[in-house]
């Protein structure tokens, strides 16, 4: 049994072996069209959020897998973090069931077509302060997912994001995993950038910096408005300046909390296009047809056949890639 486990782990890819910076994105396995499982789509409706362009979807639909995986990969995103932070067995196991479906789908793909997946958990402590339940569920997650071929490794072990917003049992650790603390919004003093989103611009961090499109819940006094892409652009500007090893985006599909990159009826493909352009920019690549604007100026250039041509920033939904003043070589 131990030999089988060892062989399984050796087949997994380590994030440190991927191109730097390696970009990941939070993914929310909440959405279902099954009877009795519509609560999260109801939140999107009740909070008056825009729907995905294709309408509501069920996250256990293979066509949704194929469509989303293709778009996520095309952006340049390499790994997903599944949000299991409300307790592993919440909603009678619905979320865990959807996560398992995604892992089954991804494991069946050829290695070159896979996204790497990992899990963030913590509600057992953060919400319920139940150490016994936490230990039991962490053990379950390790047995169920950590040895899967598509599970993301970091520093030789499966990557596990520990949602620790209330600092319950802060000394907990588990040597089977590479554990990184994940706060609800990045705390500069925490010395970890593997957080869910950020207030304003992310602070410099050599390992990981979080970037967010915006955020708002009706039951929270905090609002991080998108400002037609400016909030997102400001986060990416800090990434371009400080060049961390990893970037973690929030999020692909958190529609209820106004935090989705995925195409919607209101924003169309604005944030997917910004994501694609910025990930390429972190790798010193300019994309044909994209407009680049020098920070703090009105100087914009459209990249055409590997050359910049003077242009104007797009009107309406902004999709220009705002870059630092020293971004273009002289």
Which domains does the chain carry? 2-285 (3.20.20.80), 286-330 (no CATH)
Reported as a single tens digit per residue, the pLDDT across 40-91 is: 999 999 999 999 999 999 999 999 989 999 999 999 999 999 999 988 888 8
Q: Return the axis-axis angle of helices 230-242 and 270-282, rounded to nearest 10°.
A: 10
| Lowest-confidence segment of 29-33, 165-169, 300-304 by average pLDDT | 165-169
On average, the pLDDT of the chain sits at: 91
Query: Rounded distance, CA 279 to CA 54, Å?
Result: 25
CB contact at 8 A, 81 and 250 = no
Which pLDDT score is estimated for 8? 47
Percent of the chain with pLDDT over 90: 71
- In this prediction, residues 249-274 reach a mean pLDDT of 96
Which pLDDT score is estimated for 202? 87
Which pLDDT score is estimated for 10? 52
pLDDT band at 224 (very low <50, low <70, confident <90, very high): very high
What are the helix and strand counts (H, E) for the chain? 8, 14
Which pLDDT score is estimated for 93? 86
Reported as a single tens digit per residue, the pLDDT across 108-117 is: 999 999 999 9
pLDDT at 185 over 50: yes
- In this prediction, residues 300-329 reach a mean pLDDT of 86
pLDDT at 287 over 70: yes
Burial of 329 (0-12, 13-18, 19+ CB in 10 A): exposed
pLDDT at 6 over 50: no
Which pLDDT score is estimated for 44? 95
pLDDT band at 199 (very low <50, low <70, confident <90, very high): confident
pLDDT at 311 over 90: no
Contacts 24+ apart (CB under 8 A), 230-233: 230/318, 232/271, 232/274, 233/274, 233/318, 233/321, 233/322
pLDDT band at 92 (very low <50, low <70, confident <90, very high): confident
pLDDT band at 329 (very low <50, low <70, confident <90, very high): low
pLDDT at 211 over 50: yes
Which pLDDT score is estimated for 312? 81
- In this prediction, residues 253-262 reach a mean pLDDT of 96
Which pLDDT score is estimated for 11? 60
pTM: 0.94
Query: Rounded distance, CA 127 to CA 170, Å?
Result: 14
Query: Rounded distance, CA 285 to CA 274, Å?
Result: 14
Percent of the chain with pLDDT over 70: 95
Reported as a single tens digit per residue, the pLDDT across 120-158 is: 999 999 888 999 999 999 999 999 999 999 999 999 999
pLDDT band at 7 (very low <50, low <70, confident <90, very high): very low
Which pLDDT score is estimated for 20? 94
Task: Give the number of C-alpha atoms closer than 13 A to the C-alpha of residue 120, restricted to the C-beta side.
Answer: 28
């Amino acid at each position: 049994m131990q030999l089988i486990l060892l062989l399984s782990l050796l087949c997994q890819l380590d994030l440190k072996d991927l191109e730097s910076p390696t970009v990941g994105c939070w993914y929310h396995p909440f959405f279902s069209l099954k009877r009795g499982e519509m609560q999260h789509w109801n939140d999107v409706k009740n909070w008056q959020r825009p729907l995905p362009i294709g309408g509501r979807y069920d996250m256990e639909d293979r066509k949704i897998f194929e469509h989303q995986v293709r778009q996520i990969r095309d952006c340049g995103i390499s790994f997903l973090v599944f949000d299991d932070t409300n307790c592993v067995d919440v909603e009678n196991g619905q979320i865990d069931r959807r996560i398992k479906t995604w892992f089954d789908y991804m494991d069946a793909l050829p290695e070159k077509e896979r996204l790497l997946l990992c899990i963030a958990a913590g509600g057992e402590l953060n919400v319920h302060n139940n150490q016994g339940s936490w230990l039991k569920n962490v053990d379950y997650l390790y047995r169920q997912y950590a040895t899967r071929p598509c599970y993301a490794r970091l520093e030789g072990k499966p990557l596990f994001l520990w949602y620790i917003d209330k600092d319950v049992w802060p000394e907990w650790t588990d040597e089977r995993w590479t554990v990184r603390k994940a706060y609800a919004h990045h705390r500069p003093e925490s010395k970890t950038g593997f957080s869910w989103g950020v207030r304003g611009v992310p602070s410099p961090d050599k390992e990981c910096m979080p970037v967010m499109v915006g955020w708002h819940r009706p039951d929270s006094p905090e609002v991080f408005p998108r400002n037609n892409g400016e909030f997102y652009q400001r986060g990416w500007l800090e990434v371009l300046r400080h060049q961390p090893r990893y970037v973690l985006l929030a999020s692909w599909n958190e529609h209820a909390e106004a935090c989705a990159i995925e195409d919607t009826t209101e924003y169309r493909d604005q944030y997917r296009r910004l994501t694609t352009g910025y990930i390429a920019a972190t790798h010193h690549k300019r994309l044909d047809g994209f407009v680049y604007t020098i920070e703090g100026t009105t100087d914009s250039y459209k990249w055409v056949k590997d050359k910049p041509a003077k242009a104007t920033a797009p009107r309406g939904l902004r999709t220009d890639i705002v870059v630092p003043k020293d971004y273009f070589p002289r």
